[in-house]
Amino acid sequence: MEAFSNYDLLDVITGRKVAEGHKASFCLEDTSCDPGVRRRFACTAHTQGLGPGCYDTYNANIDCQWIDVTDVPPGNYILKVTVNPAMQVQESDFSNNIVKCDIRYTGSYVHARNCRITGS
């Protein structure tokens, strides 16, 4: 799958995209689950998926886990993360696939706050 998640950095005033990234996917599996929830899917067993209450978690140092902000000036932005943007993975509910966070970029670091599930 070419893009399992899209990461868009938007100008807080205009909503214009100023930078972007994406997460390619080759396997979905339950790498961790909420307490009391049993893992159901693992790539090694050739049964891909994400069970309710489980997560496919990646370390930050894996490629395609970031947005290149080299040419982005310091300021306030919105990070928009869209999971399963082309709806290629079957889900019981697509309404919770977009999260937006308020971002303050200083030129040296990023502070995220007010993350919320949105419809668009």
pLDDT for 39-78, tens place per residue?
A: 999 888 678 888 889 988 877 777 777 899 999 999 999 9
What is the pLDDT, as a whole number, of residue 45?
67
What is the pLDDT, as a whole number, of residue 1?
61
Tell me the domain boundaries of the chain: 1-24+64-120, 25-62
Q: Give me the residue label for tokens 């891909």.
A: 48
**Cα–Cα distance between 72 and 18 in angstroms, integer?**
7
Find how far residue 18's CA is from the centre of its chain. 17
Cα–Cα separations (whole angstroms), residue 59 to 43, 66, 97: 17, 11, 20
What is the pLDDT, as a whole number, of residue 91?
82
Phi, psi of 45 (to 5 degrees): -95, 5
User: 101 exposed, middle or buried (CB, 10 Å; 0-12, 13-18, 19+)?
Assistant: middle
What is the pLDDT, as a whole number, of residue 85?
82
**Overall residue count recorded for the chain in this entry:** 120
Q: What percent of the chain has pLDDT over 90?
A: 52
